[in-house]
Structure 1
């Protein structure tokens, strides 16, 4: 994997580099302290497998096809769930199929990631893409801006599988409008800017009802570092109601957490890109830590036995969406500190996609109500640089109160 490179838009001096490094270390320490203080099993105790509440939804069968069929499918779609008994040879075949899929994605990059990513190569400065290209995995590109790394991905990956057909229209200013026509008669319309960033998304039901999930088409403001500009959040609620572990919480309790208002008065509404890139903005809403789902080192697959652990999470999300079809959930992926920053960033992004796929495929959580983002090793749950399963995890927030929409 490529090593960290200089900032994309301007080369920082030694003083700024030290400040950025200190800031990153402090952020890791703070995240670890918060998580360790509130999560069951943070001391290394053995914790029993969670049991879904009686009103939790039952998962649809996933990963029940023969492993050979799953390997074949892996050439088209990221694998999320694998059987309990999978051999080393079968895992290797999955990796080979994944490489083929990523190669296809690279060849089709303009459609998947936007025009700016089509010819992007490592080392290229592409401001419209977000910064300097420092990593390329075919279906994902990593860009750097001022020492911060971001993953660029196919924002429609979660619902391409259910598409009957997809139409792409090129709009002025390098924008594209993609319409996914589903087999159930509904449509998902997505508008992206020239850099592939989401500007607009709506669902059109088969009855013709339009549900606008996100609309920032008319927002054009300079980049603001909200992590630096905004003062620290001052909580007025108990911390255990702000950072909530999934384990031990039922469907109704989780729905209440997801539906809870922001913990401070909003100064304005923000773009999806701003929320994804700013820890300070994301922290305005509560989060649920999926301590019930963890990953093997270097893996983004989930074992079949863990699918049921998402039942109450899915139920709570479905209840919120029933009340507010415009709700948008951010699924965040994390890693431990083993491996390079760039490798961990894309690995965490794939873990977020894995959980989003399970929520959608096993529990019918509408994929258009989900967005994913990987944060690598930035927010360790357990403050260690070693191999730690509890750091390999996913968290979820309802970010719709923060976003620019027609309703907001």
Structure 2
């Protein structure tokens, strides 16, 4: 009997500060993804996107993946892992070569990449996560997807490089491997999230993507079809929860429930008349009445933290140069964007059009189709795409600042050639 073909599966693993989620999918013949299984567990060993407890994180990863495997009815060995911690750097290397008016050949692409060797070296001990070639430019004409065979005097390309601090990336890699799962690639969260909730037109015209995570808020800017800058803020939904718990003397779990069910970023005249019962930290005791607050008091605490958060977001957008004609659209995603009225509040503060971005991946179960799972869906889409990427983190060379640039170059060349 002929050997049945090996199924090509895609596994995505998003390790956040509040949850660890996994997704198993199978690419179909028409290029779509068929969702086979998903899994989720509470994240107890990650703080502000960094692995703080290896053992607890390992258990959460293993349980989330096992849940997805049971639903999918299959086992997986490797995964694309999201990295959402701080310390990410984003640079764009512009490279140009002379062609002389003749037709562009493969060797011209190789020469173009050779000229970009110094530009894609890891800087200041950083580790390269992505080197994403964007659209080509022919004699000043931007937006060319496939220059091979066209005539030009000058050929140029922008290579978008995303780098991270090595230690957190290595800790994440070790944690996943300790859970008996291979790491196919570690993908920066803004790269994955942008793939899941931004349209090609938005990326071309200019858009800011704000991922409101539990412990980290990532602000990234897209223009000309590529990610051109990003900044991580060590603040997120957990801070709002902690503010509520501290202000009203209750447990974090109860504060999170109050935030989700009664919380809002916008005020309403009815808030002063709606009462909310609070379970005290010490639990119910005989003779002690349950505390009650108005919804207006809860919203006031939430808005105080949001004022600080949106102020930091506005500052980050200014530092990233998000202004002028292309600085008009902001997309919120992540679990924090699910807070009632969040888009309206951000629009009023930032003075820009704001919408909530949800994962554009058909077939996701209802429990995993909200903004909190945008990065997870983006990881699956990134894994299944044919995007030109190194697909593997490149560590800084210890012997010298340019010791590994040849490896980077050769991988880029091989990836470019494979696309023809």
After TM superposition, is the score higher than 0.5?
no
TM-score by length of 1: 0.25
